[in-house]
A and B are shown apart, each in its own frame.
Chain A
Amino acid sequence: MTASGKFRFISSDRRVREDRRFVVGKGRFVADIVPQGVNHVALVTCPHPAARIVSIDKSAALAMPGVIYVLDGAELSGATNALATGLDTPNVPRWPLAVKVARYAGEWVAAVVADSRALAEDAAEAVVVEYEPLPFVLDGEEAYKPGATLVHEAHGSNVLLDRTFAWGEVEQDFAASPHKLRHTVKWGRSATVPVETFGVTASWDPWREMLDVWASIQVPKYPDQTAMALRLPMSSVRVHFDVDVGGSYGVKRGIKHTVVVGYLSKRLGVPVRLIEDRMENMRGGDMHGPERNFDVEVAFDDQGIIRSMKMRALDNVGAYAGRSPFQLGKPVGAIVGPYKIKSVQYQAIAVVTNKTVQEAVRAFGQSPTNYAIERTLDEVANRLGLDRLEMRRRNLIRREEFPYLIPSGSTYDSGDYHAVIDKVLAQAGYDDLIAERDRLRAAGTLAGIGIAACLEPSGGNSSFEPLLNPKVGTTTWMDSCRISIDLVGSITATMHTTSAGQGHETLVGTVIGEVLEVDPEKVRVVRPDSLNSLPSNTPVGSRMAIMLGGAAFHAATQLKDKLVAIAAHDLGVPVERIGYKDGTAFVTAAPDSKRSWAELVTIAHRYIHRMPPGMEPGLAVSHIMPVPGGGGLPDAGGRVQMYPCYSFEFHLVLVTIDPDLGKPEIKRYVLGHDCGTVINPKIVRGMTMGGVAHGIGAALYEEFAYNAEGLLMAQSFMDYLLPSAHEVPPVEIVHHETPSPLTVFGQKGSGESGYLGAPAAVASAVNDAVRPLGIAVNSLPIKVARLGDMIAAARDNTKGN
């Protein structure tokens, strides 16, 4: 079944409506919103990885004209509640400003408020903090060991989470397998680092008792968390969602920023804003991604069929417990990747260290896990002397096996992985690619082919929360849409979150246009503030095509049914005999007997005497949609349906490495992508291309490196290297469509596509290139300098031999 011809607007290559405002510079970003009389915050940050705060002398700063306040952690923690954490770790409290002890270099110690940002920065330098440096620990494995330096003494250890799951007969399957292979890999600390930093403005009205908030956010439960931390009823926090977010890919969380400015605005009676500069963002913005050590062991037979896997993943989550330990939970929903591995043992460990706090990053921990699985599969093929692609094909779930239940309790909805791979090979020619690689090798270049096959779980209901923290019973993760047709017949729809470039206004317009058979451009899409909103869980986990698209579909369908019911009543025929086309309802057997859009709208808004008895007047419908398939708690064995929909991607890459410099270059990149029915091809293609670019960055360039003294070495874009147009090669995307049986149009998620497999594919290619030298590169990012040194050493050895 394909979508072609099935839809009128869905899947057609339509423009993205948001683009018009951006190309003329009329986006409305948080820094563009400046309330009258706003004051500015700059931060005083700790220069040590761990230190006791002995004293804070604010006098010189406060003496500067234009400086109105200096807030410290003692005051703020006395007046607010600690920030919410995901796990049950009451002795690891997290405050926006350090209380007594600072636990990473860059942690906020005080917030200076002045009438200009420049002045606030000057005054921040005039705040004198006396520190007593404390012992610190940076390495995750070190922190995990008994007797390690404690980041939070009261917690008694550095371990936030250490759970081992066993799904299926792991030991039995290992014992029955003729071969075992153990492989360790590391995923380095990087993040998606949007070009816009995090920013927030808050304005408290003490007479209305209302806190207005404008923020650059992509985070579920933001109004709730803000209200709880500030000890306000949620009805006193009004978050404005009509703020364009300048990129996020998971990281724009910013609750701590919001608590600071929210408190200050209440305290001072003026609007207050905090727009991070880049250094504040890099070291104290709490947006670093996973830093994960994997130890993977697999059991397999002579044919390379993998029967069982044991995975240990230790994540260094930084100094405080945010939501980040849950990033070890999401991969449970795709712990075997696209493969038929029968049993799995999974140990998930989250430790605190004296590094910047980790937060959610694109794919929420799935991309590192995919990298670990894929690199292990490469090693299995190499061990058996099998072709890496052939070996994957033998292990992949086959089309006829869906829906497919994996050992950890999730059922994959649909897929045709072999077909996607065949399409990629038709595009790239695997034998040709191998011939090209070998030709390059013969010419003296290091060359390698990279392969990665992986899944994008999408649209879930946050089941990793109850899985990893039994005190949390979350099973609901809805999204909503409200549609109204006004009395002159125009359509307005609502969505209830900010967006960071995902084109949600286009999504909603397209879906409603499809259902009501009207031009999507005629559907206005607006974002009410949080007090006027229906529930939304924001664009996380590749969910909006499924969830917001689904909610818009159901609301539009209800509205269409209402129009049909009005027509049926007015024409005096049963509803079943009414047809609907292009906004007109007519008697199926006598199409001239009809009611036009204008007539139906007029009846609904003005002529209740012609409405079906008991029907609500007007034309306004809301729909709150649960995750497809509902939701349930994990069972006693830790099995749970984590996500309803699973997109598939297959990467095939040719990389060369300059043997003298160690500089990798991507010569060919072909990507097969299947996210079910595509609602907007331009958006899905862009997401995927962007995800590949992020993945290339994580694989080769980007790292939040720390020195031995515990200081972050990458605090600017001079040191944290972002791929430019030169580093991202042309990517050929081959499209395939296996609709999901669970969603309204067959769509699946695509917000994380590309990023899920690109790091694995690039690492696979680099390793294929250096394998003839007898070396392997098992940690990301693969920086030029380190790779160059490894290659030089290997060549020296070869010569020596």
Chain B
Amino acid sequence: MKVELDINRENHTVDVEPRLSLLDCLRDKLLLTGAHAGCEHGVCGACTVLIDGAAVRSCLMFAVQADGYAITTIEGLSPGLGELSPLQDAFCETHGMQCGYCTPAMVLAAHALLSKNAEPTREEIVDAISGNICRCTGYAQIVEAIALAAERMRGANRPQDGLGAEP
């Protein structure tokens, strides 16, 4: 069946089996391979995408259920070819990753947090990524990346209205 998907502010019409997960649809039909399969039962969070700005597990959702929502994948976050968003740059600054497999989902979960909360506490950051398993880092440098990004974005946005700015 056909489904209309709004992905990274572009519309895609995709022919899918009703049982196709959003994750498999993104990866196999649209070649958006930044979303990763980890457990495919909703625990590890490696498949996280944003649905209307909220972090959602794309392995637990059928592609047909995503019809009509604004989907953001990791491919939609970088501001231009070869460029990084402030959040992505902060992950590089603190080395908030190792193998990179959980990283796109971590960045998206952090993006969702910072869109709502410009000045998160450590606890709020930990909460926001607690549904995303990382086996490499022990999370410390990921938490630091998100705190650093928040701080930088606050600094960058101080003269303007500050909250909720797109990175």
A: residues with CB less than 8 A from B are 15-16, 18-27, 29, 31-32, 118, 192-197, 244-249, 275, 277-278, 500-503, 682-683, 685-687, 689-694, 716-718, 722, 724-726, 728, 730-731, 754
For the complex, what is the distance from the CA of A717 to the CA of B94, rounded to whole Å?
28
Complex interface: chain B residues within 8 A of A717 (CB)? 39, 41, 43-44, 133
Interface residue? B58 (CB, 8 A):
no
Q: Which residue of B lies closest to A192 (CB)?
A: B135
Do the beta carbons of A15 and B93 come within 8 Å of each other? yes
> Nearest Cβ in chain A — how far from B80, in angstroms?
11
> Nearest Cβ in chain A — how far from B60, in angstroms?
13
Complex interface: chain A residues within 8 A of B102 (CB)? 195
Do the beta carbons of B92 and A247 come within 8 Å of each other? no
For the complex, what is the distance from the CA of A118 to the CA of B127, rounded to whole Å?
34
For the complex, what is the distance from the CA of A694 to the CA of B88, rounded to whole Å?
25
Complex interface: chain B residues within 8 A of A192 (CB)? 135
Q: Which residue of B lies closest to A689 (CB)?
A: B138
Do the beta carbons of A195 and B135 come within 8 Å of each other? yes
Do the beta carbons of B95 and A195 come within 8 Å of each other? no
B: residues with CB less than 8 A from A are 17, 19-20, 27, 32-41, 43-44, 46, 73-75, 77-78, 84, 88-89, 91-95, 97-104, 107, 126-127, 129-143
Complex interface: chain A residues within 8 A of B130 (CB)? 724-726
Q: Which residue of B lies closest to A724 (CB)?
A: B130
| Most central of B17, B98, B132 by chain A CB within 10 Å | B98
Closest 8 CB pairs of A and B: A25-B34, A22-B100, A246-B101, A501-B98, A501-B99, A693-B138, A25-B74, A689-B138
Do the beta carbons of A246 and B99 come within 8 Å of each other? yes
Q: Which residue of A lies closest to B84 (CB)?
A: A23
Do the beta carbons of B88 and A24 come within 8 Å of each other? yes
Known: A26-B34, A195-B135. 6 other contacts (CB 8 A): A21-B100, A196-B101, A500-B99, A685-B140, A693-B139, A728-B140
Do the beta carbons of B141 and A23 come within 8 Å of each other? no
Name B41's contact: one of A682, A693, A718 (CB within 8 Å): A718
Q: Which residue of A lies closest to B78 (CB)?
A: A24
Do the beta carbons of B97 and A195 come within 8 Å of each other? no
> Mostly helix, strand, loop or mixed at chain B's interface?
loop
Name B36's contact: one of A18, A29, A193 (CB within 8 Å): A29
> Nearest Cβ in chain B — how far from A194, in angstroms?
6
- Contact flag A277-B84 (CB < 8 Å), given A16-B95, A246-B100, A724-B130: no
Q: How many A-B residue pairs have CB under 8 A?
A: 183
Q: Which residue of A lies closest to B133 (CB)?
A: A722
Complex interface: chain A residues within 8 A of B101 (CB)? 27, 29, 194-196, 244, 246-247
Do the beta carbons of B91 and A19 come within 8 Å of each other? yes
For the complex, what is the distance from the CA of A401 to the CA of B65, rounded to whole Å?
68
- Contact flag A25-B75 (CB < 8 Å), given A193-B135, A195-B133, A728-B138: yes
Q: List 29 A-B contacts (CB under 8 A).
A: A15-B93, A16-B95, A19-B95, A19-B97, A19-B100, A20-B84, A23-B89, A24-B74, A24-B104, A25-B34, A29-B33, A194-B99, A194-B135, A195-B38, A195-B134, A277-B37, A686-B95, A686-B137, A686-B141, A689-B139, A689-B140, A689-B141, A690-B98, A694-B135, A716-B43, A717-B41, A718-B43, A722-B43, A725-B126
| Most central of B78, B131, B135, B137 by chain A CB within 10 Å | B135
Name B135's contact: one of A21, A683, A722, A726 (CB within 8 Å): A722
Q: Which residue of B lies closest to A697 (CB)?
A: B135
Complex interface: chain A residues within 8 A of B17 (CB)? 118
Do the beta carbons of A23 and B40 come within 8 Å of each other? no
Q: Which residue of B lies closest to A195 (CB)?
A: B38
Do the beta carbons of B33 and A32 come within 8 Å of each other? yes
Complex interface: chain A residues within 8 A of B97 (CB)? 19, 22-23, 501
> Nearest Cβ in chain A — how far from B38, in angstroms?
4
- Contact flag A196-B36 (CB < 8 Å), given A15-B93, A25-B73, A726-B126: yes
> Nearest Cβ in chain B — how far from A500, in angstroms?
5
Q: Which residue of B lies closest to A503 (CB)?
A: B98
Complex interface: chain B residues within 8 A of A21 (CB)? 100
Complex interface: chain A residues within 8 A of B131 (CB)? 724
> Nearest Cβ in chain A — how far from B17, in angstroms?
8
Complex interface: chain A residues within 8 A of B40 (CB)? 277-278
Do the beta carbons of A731 and B77 come within 8 Å of each other? no
For the complex, what is the distance from the CA of A468 to the CA of B73, rounded to whole Å?
50
Name A690's contact: one of B100, B132, B136 (CB within 8 Å): B136
For the complex, what is the distance from the CA of A400 to the CA of B129, rounded to whole Å?
46
Do the beta carbons of A195 and B44 come within 8 Å of each other? yes
Name B137's contact: one of A500, A690, A722 (CB within 8 Å): A690
Complex interface: chain A residues within 8 A of B77 (CB)? 24
